[in-house]
């Protein structure tokens, strides 16, 4: 029950589902349909959350949406998005039904223990089959209303907008059932959804307030990062003086980059905030570095520069998946922003260093320096292109091991003549292939006594490139005398 101190707050909603099932199209339609054109056109910065207002049962109601990426690389962000969200919308294509990332999103929603609504999308397409989609959902233990369960659902076309208004009403109905409230007078608490370095404005973070009210002249701590509430902006980029719960806000002026997913604490006095950071820093971390065995492995240093913190997290996750025998990736630097002089200088500590940029640029001073030093800089805007490049580059750098591969054996039957180091003899093939030009190991009483090379090979008085059975004649170049009964072990050196 809602107490006198509690006030109803807008729901925070995460749109989730399989890639190409229409998450981004739905988010874009909702945003463009519920934000005034002039205001929307004024949005210049990237924000990973936005707020809409719509009429509902005779009053204006708000919903905040998290713009969580749908690519498989952003699993961490999707999980965090769900934990920041109150309600999830699971988008499923009416053409394709349940797919791999649908199940992954469903697992995330269930682990977060939040209610969800199913949006069956692409109903305008010729191959759409709503009943079949419901069936594939049921096969994965999602029983929608009217199909043996109580999970709300709506049929929509995110592209045309059909059914989207009804979907928004369903979201508000689910929110009412969840009785989402907050204490208006409490200090604001929330979660960092995104953080980035703006070259002109400094470090900014997008935060969803989950309880309390964020006000001017307060001090915010996110992990070990600290900021004042001097510059607070809503998702349109407009300056605001206070932010209620359930609403996204961009906070400008952090001293260090807050981690995405970090909880925020708010204080009235700067000293209290500083004491809290010190207290948290003194706590023994429960996390330990991966104790990866790097013994006898070649280290490849990597510096990562990206546009936003969430992308940095995603790339780190992808790099952890790459495994090349004999090599170990070591991230020696990672940050947000353009590739600069400091990155070039860091790369000079080891000429093997690779600087990977994602959705970022190389600044002019770094370009000028790099013309002289030639650091390996690679910039991408598609994650799989980055990982493809790195896998190929690591394969080129992989330490090659030369191994001895036995291709055949023959037993010496008789020796005929010897001229300097060349000896003519007869032998019988015991296994494999004896080839002209192959190296041979001469083994006597199970002990290797010398090595030589086959310079001529004959069978039935005809020169041969190789012999696989029967008897043959050989001319072998060897410093040691070869005797009847010796075993000739032919081998090649293979680089792997």
Distance CA 59, CA 65 (A): 20
Query: What is the per-residue pLDDT for 292?
Result: 47
Whether 321 shows a pLDDT value over 50: the answer reads: yes
Could you tell me how far CA 481 lies from the centroid of its own chain? 62
Neighbours of 339 (CB within 10 A): 24
Give yes or no: residues 172 and 203 share one domain: no
Average pLDDT over residues 397-412: 88
Q: Which residues on adjacent β-strands are paired with residue 356?
A: 304, 378
Residue 55 included in any domain: yes
Q: Which tens digit of pLDDT belongs to each residue from 65-117?
A: 987 554 444 556 555 666 788 999 999 999 999 988 889 889 888 888 889 99
Give yes or no: residues 473 and 376 share one domain: no
Residue 173 included in any domain: yes
Q: Closest Cα partner for 421 from 400, 442, 393?
A: 442
Residue 292 included in any domain: no
Give yes or no: residues 122 and 136 share one domain: yes
Q: Closest Cα partner for 98 from 44, 158, 144?
A: 144
Domains in the chain: how many in total? 4
Residue 18 included in any domain: yes
CA–CA distances in Å: residue 198 to residues 68, 219, 254, 304, 308: 20, 20, 11, 17, 9
Burial of 362-381, coded b for 16+ CB within 10 Å and e otherwise, reads beeebeebbeeeebebeebe
What is the total residue count of the chain?
Answer: 496
Whether 19 shows a pLDDT value over 90: the answer reads: no
The pair of structure tokens assigned to 459 is 């069978």
**Among 154-158, 263-267, 398-402, the least confident range:** 398-402
DSSP letters for 90-148: EEEETTTBS-HHHHHHHHHHHHHT--EEEEEE-TTSTT--HHHHHHHHHHTT--BBTTT
Distance CA 99, CA 41 (A): 35
Give yes or no: residues 134 and 87 share one domain: yes
Residue 175: phi and psi, rounded to 5, are: -65, -40
Burial (0-12, 13-18, 19+ Cβ within 10 Å), 197 = buried
Query: What is the per-residue pLDDT for 45?
Result: 36
Query: What is the per-residue pLDDT for 43?
Result: 34
Give yes or no: residues 166 and 84 share one domain: yes
Residue 68 included in any domain: yes
Q: Which tens digit of pLDDT belongs to each residue from 173-182?
A: 999 999 999 9
CATH code, domain with 50: 3.40.50.300
Helix, strand, or coil (residue 378): strand
Whether 202 shows a pLDDT value over 80: the answer reads: yes
Do residues 486 and 442 touch, judged by C-beta distance below 8 A? Answer: yes
Give yes or no: residues 236 and 339 share one domain: no
Distance CA 212, CA 270 (A): 19
Average pLDDT over residues 46-59: 82
Give yes or no: residues 406 and 478 share one domain: yes
Residue 288 included in any domain: no
Helix 309-321 to helix 383-397 angle, to the nearest 10 degrees? 40
DSSP-derived secondary structure letter, 337 = S
**Among 40-49, 205-214, 390-399, 469-478, the least confident range:** 40-49
Give yes or no: residues 308 and 410 share one domain: no
Helix, strand, or coil (residue 13): strand
Which of 253, 281, 309 is a domain's end point? 281
What does the mean pLDDT of the chain come to?
Answer: 86
Residue 235: phi and psi, rounded to 5, are: -70, -15
Query: What is the per-residue pLDDT for 42?
Result: 37
Give yes or no: residues 12 and 138 share one domain: yes
Distance CA 358, CA 481 (A): 65
DSSP-derived secondary structure letter, 73 = G
pLDDT-based confidence at residue 134 (cuts at 50, 70, 90): very high
Residue 305 included in any domain: yes
Give yes or no: residues 433 and 345 share one domain: no
Query: What is the per-residue pLDDT for 47?
Result: 54
Give yes or no: residues 21 and 154 share one domain: yes
DSSP letters for 235-288: TTS-B-SEE-TT-EEEEEEESSPPPTT-EEEEESSHHHHHHHHHHHHHSPPS--
Give yes or no: residues 161 and 191 share one domain: no
- Structural domain of residue 313, as residue ranges? 298-397
Query: What is the per-residue pLDDT for 283?
Result: 58
Residue 2 included in any domain: no
Could you tell me how far CA 458 lies from the centroid of its own chain? 59
Which of 250, 281, 312 is a domain's end point? 281
pLDDT-based confidence at residue 403 (cuts at 50, 70, 90): confident
Whether 284 shows a pLDDT value over 60: the answer reads: no
Distance CA 342, CA 365 (A): 10
Stated pTM of the model = 0.64
Which of 160, 179, 198 is a domain's end point? 179
**Among 108-117, 207-216, 282-291, 428-437, the least confident range:** 282-291
Query: What is the per-residue pLDDT for 286?
Result: 38
Query: What is the per-residue pLDDT for 71?
Result: 47
Q: Which long-range contacts (CB under 8 A, 24 or more apart) does 149-155 make?
A: 151/116, 151/117, 151/118, 152/117, 152/118, 153/117, 153/118, 153/119, 153/120, 154/117, 154/118, 154/119, 154/120, 155/94, 155/120, 155/123, 155/130
CATH code, domain with 358: 3.40.50.10050
pLDDT-based confidence at residue 469 (cuts at 50, 70, 90): very high
CATH code, domain with 431: 2.40.30.10
């Amino acid at each position: 029950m809602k107490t006198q101190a509690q006030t109803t707050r807008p729901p925070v909603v995460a749109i989730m589902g399989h890639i190409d099932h229409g998450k981004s199209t739905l988010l874009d339609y909702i945003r463009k349909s519920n934000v005034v054109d002039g205001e929307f056109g004024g949005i210049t910065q990237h924000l990973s959350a936005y707020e809409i207002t719509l009429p509902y049962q005779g009053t204006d109601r708000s919903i905040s949406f998290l713009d969580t990426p749908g690519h498989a690389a952003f699993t961490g962000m999707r999980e965090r998005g769900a934990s920041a969200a109150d309600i999830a919308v699971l988008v499923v294509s009416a053409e394709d039904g349940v797919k791999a990332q649908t199940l992954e999103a469903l697992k995330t929603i269930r682990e977060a223990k939040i209610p969800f609504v199913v949006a069956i999308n692409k109903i305008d397409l010729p191959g759409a089959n709503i009943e079949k989609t419901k069936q594939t959902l049921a096969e994965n233990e999602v029983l929608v209303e009217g199909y043996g369960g109580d999970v709300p659902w709506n049929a929509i076309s995110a592209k045309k907008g059909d059914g989207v208004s009804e979907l928004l009403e369903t979201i508000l109905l689910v929110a009412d059932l969840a009785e989402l409230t907050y204490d208006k007078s409490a200090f604001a608490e929330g979660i960092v959804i995104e953080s980035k370095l703006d070259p002109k404005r400094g470090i900014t973070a997008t935060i969803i307030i989950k309880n309390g009210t964020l006000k001017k002249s307060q001090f915010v701590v996110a992990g070990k990062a600290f900021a004042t509430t001097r510059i607070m902006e809503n998702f349109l980029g407009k300056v605001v003086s206070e932010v209620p719960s359930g609403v996204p806000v961009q906070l400008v002026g952090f001293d260090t980059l807050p981690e995405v997913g970090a909880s925020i604490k708010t204080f009235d006095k700067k000293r209290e905030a500083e004491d809290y950071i010190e207290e948290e820093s003194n706590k023994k971390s429960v996390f330990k570095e991966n104790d990866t065995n790097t013994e006898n492995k070649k280290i490849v240093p990597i510096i990562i520069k990206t546009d936003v913190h969430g992308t940095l997290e995603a790339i780190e996750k992808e790099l952890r998946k790459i495994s090349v025998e004999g090599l170990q990736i070591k991230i020696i630097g990672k940050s947000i922003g353009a590739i600069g002089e400091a990155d070039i200088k860091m790369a000079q500590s080891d000429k093997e260093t690779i600087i990977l940029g994602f959705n970022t640029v190389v600044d002019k001073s770094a370009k000028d320096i790099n013309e002289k030093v030639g650091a390996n800089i690679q910039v991408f805007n598609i994650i799989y292109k980055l990982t493809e490049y790195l896998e190929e580059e690591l394969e080129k750098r992989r330490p090659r091991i030369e191994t001895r591969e036995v291709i055949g054996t023959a037993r010496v039957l008789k020796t005929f003549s010897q001229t300097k180091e060349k000896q003519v003899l007869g032998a019988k093939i015991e296994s494999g292939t004896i080839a002209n030009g192959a190296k041979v190991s001469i083994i006597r009483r199970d002990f290797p006594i010398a090595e030589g090379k086959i310079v001529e090979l004959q069978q039935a008085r005809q020169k041969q490139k190789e012999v696989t059975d029967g008897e043959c004649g050989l001319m072998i170049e060897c410093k040691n005398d070869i005797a009847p009964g010796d075993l000739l072990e032919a081998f090649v050196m293979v680089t792997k």
